[in-house]
Structure 1
Amino acid sequence: MSKVVEMRVPAGSSGVCTIWSVCAAVVVFALFVQAWIVVQARPQDLVTGAHGMADIISRALPPAFDQFVPNLWPVLETIDLAIFGTVFGVILAFPLAILAAANVTPARPLYYAARAVIGVTRAVPDLVWALLFVTAVGLGPFPGALALAVHSVGMLGRLFAEVVEDMDMGPVEALTLTGAGRLQVLSHAVVPGVLPSLLGIGLFRFDENLRSSLVLGFVGAGGIGFQLLTAMNLFQYQTVSFLLIATFVLVACAERVSAWLRGLVK
């Protein structure tokens, strides 16, 4: 005979849950209100300023498609900024991730040192890195590429370290018991176990770097961003609209290529 088990909820539990739900809703609402006040939100300004936006849009049409050939080089610069930053970010982030992973790091001081480097490079925005490198090496795409590489070290280093910490330690322990050295364990157990995940993360980072490279041009780091800023300063709105279209096409194509490559490495 089957037995029916009755689940009894304590009498006051539903009331406690309701009180906590109300308190949480009040806190969320209070946070939104203070954010509304701090940012000085004025929705009515959107209505009164709509004619200004309409005027700019009308001046931007039709897009200046005759700027296609002159802007091929900035487009190439933008793509190469993302490639340079991603490749060097991966190369520098992987050894840092090995040191920053608690399960494979050779020593605790190295663990804390690697975590500190990853934290600093990740905490400083890539735009700030670009400003620093522009001051150091001058205008052009090189400071932008350096900024993307340094910031990618922080972002990739943290993600790589988490992947290594979550990996299956069985192969590592098996090789260690056979007397294999650290380099042998790294090359035959750690790398094969995490390589697909690392490649996927690296491709995601390339996608992010491509978007970031567009913004870095605003501080003189080359690419489409610099051309876009120049056109806006010269009130060449038709060129601006063309560059925006080119940016959209570039990002969309990069997303599709990145998704295709991630599908291959899974």
Structure 2
Amino acid sequence: MTNELPVAGRTPLARQLMMIGAALVLVALFAQAWVVVQARPQDLVTGAHGMADIISRSLPPAFDQFKPTLMPVLETIDLAIFGTVVGVLLAFPLSILAARNMTPAKPLYYAARGVISLTRSVPDLVWALLFVTAVGLGPFPGALALGVHSIGMLGRLFAEVIEDMDMGPVEALTLTGASRLQVFAHAVVPGVLPSLLGIALYRFDENLRSSLVLGFVGAGGIGFFLLTAMNLFQYQTVAFLLIVTFVLVTCAERMSAYLRRLVA
């Protein structure tokens, strides 16, 4: 007879020890982050009067800026639309090459993965700075930056969806002697299209938010208008632009949610 407990008897204890160990690791990570970022919560209390002063000077919002804001709002929306469409058009063929179950050759797989990683790892703000130096200020460099960055994000997600798709229809069509193009059109696209559309709509939400920040580097849209108002200490205009931004993002989220329900 052995005194060793069965494996099943040790499992709950082992899980508890793992959970305790994971909790200690998380606490340690948060503690070092607290030190590195030099967190000082007490400064929020002592500096509250400064924030209150800015808020008081922001009221009431400058609603008379409605008409001058229309063009920056349109630019912001169009930046997101252009960046999303360009990202989808370029990311989809890359995702086919980057999916293990669809790529025609290993070199193409690694090349596609490399392009996706590069475009995703460089922040869209850096892309915007690069394109501003190339084509000048305005909405076009911002649209290019969103499009290039979207290639990486969409390409990775698209490739994962394609790799996880049901290969039954693909194998069935292949056995019937269908060409690669026929298999792609009649088995791959119908199987992944709803998921890809949902991901593209999520990306549109992200691009809309990103387009606000890109304006800070001269890429047009509300962001540029907002930065100008902040530099001129026009806090009432800033408050109005923040309200416009909130309404714009909320409407985009509702529209995207509605469209995702349609394609689901």
TM-score by length of 2: 0.94
For residues 81 and 58 of structure 1, the distance between their equivalents in structure 2, rounded to whole angstroms, comes to 33
Q: What displacement does 1:27 show?
A: 1.9
For residues 108 and 10 of structure 1, the distance between their equivalents in structure 2, rounded to whole angstroms, comes to 43
Equivalent position of 2:47 in the other structure: 49
Give the gaps of 5 or more residues in structure 1.
1-7
1:127 alignment partner, one of 109, 125, 128 = 125
Tell whether 2:79 aligns with 1:101. Answer: no
Query: What letter matches 1:243 in structure 2?
Result: L
| Bigger mean CA deviation after superposition, 194-203 or 17-26 | 17-26
Go from structure 1 to structure 2 and tell me whether the alpha carbon gap of 1:105 and 1:246 turns closer, same or farther (over 3 Å shift): same
| Bigger mean CA deviation after superposition, 29-38 or 237-246 | 29-38
Equivalent position of 2:243 in the other structure: 245
For residues 11 and 163 of structure 2, the distance between their equivalents in structure 1, rounded to whole angstroms, comes to 39
Equivalent position of 1:90 in the other structure: 88
2:26 alignment partner, one of 6, 28, 35 = 28
For residues 61 and 255 of structure 2, the distance between their equivalents in structure 1, rounded to whole angstroms, comes to 26
Q: What displacement does 1:14 show?
A: 5.2
For residues 170 and 133 of structure 1, the distance between their equivalents in structure 2, rounded to whole angstroms, comes to 44
For residues 22 and 201 of structure 2, the distance between their equivalents in structure 1, rounded to whole angstroms, comes to 38
For residues 227 and 100 of structure 1, the distance between their equivalents in structure 2, rounded to whole angstroms, comes to 39
Give the gaps of 5 or more residues in structure 2.
1-5
Percent identity, aligned pairs only, is 81
Q: In the comparison of the two structures, how many residue pairs are matched?
A: 260
For residues 30 and 20 of structure 2, the distance between their equivalents in structure 1, rounded to whole angstroms, comes to 15
2:214 alignment partner, one of 199, 205, 216 = 216
Query: What letter matches 1:132 in structure 2?
Result: L
Is the partner of 2:60 in helix, strand or coil? coil
Query: What letter matches 2:22 in structure 1?
Result: A
Query: What letter matches 1:22 in structure 2?
Result: I
Query: What letter matches 1:65 in structure 2?
Result: F
| Bigger mean CA deviation after superposition, 18-27 or 89-98 | 18-27
Tell whether 2:252 aligns with 1:254. Answer: yes
Query: What letter matches 1:224 in structure 2?
Result: I
For residues 209 and 129 of structure 1, the distance between their equivalents in structure 2, rounded to whole angstroms, comes to 13
For residues 118 and 62 of structure 2, the distance between their equivalents in structure 1, rounded to whole angstroms, comes to 42
For residues 151 and 228 of structure 1, the distance between their equivalents in structure 2, rounded to whole angstroms, comes to 23
Map 1:195-206; keep pairs closer than 5 Å. Answer: 195-206=193-204
Is the partner of 2:137 in helix, strand or coil? coil
Query: What letter matches 2:207 in structure 1?
Result: N
For residues 64 and 242 of structure 1, the distance between their equivalents in structure 2, rounded to whole angstroms, comes to 6
Deviation sequence 1:63-93 (CA, Å, 0-9, x none): 0000000110000000000000000100000
CA-based RMSD of the aligned residues comes to: 1.6
2:170 alignment partner, one of 169, 172, 189 = 172
Go from structure 1 to structure 2 and tell me whether the alpha carbon gap of 1:42 and 1:102 turns closer, same or farther (over 3 Å shift): same
Deviation sequence 1:212-251 (CA, Å, 0-9, x none): 0001001110000000000000000000000000000000
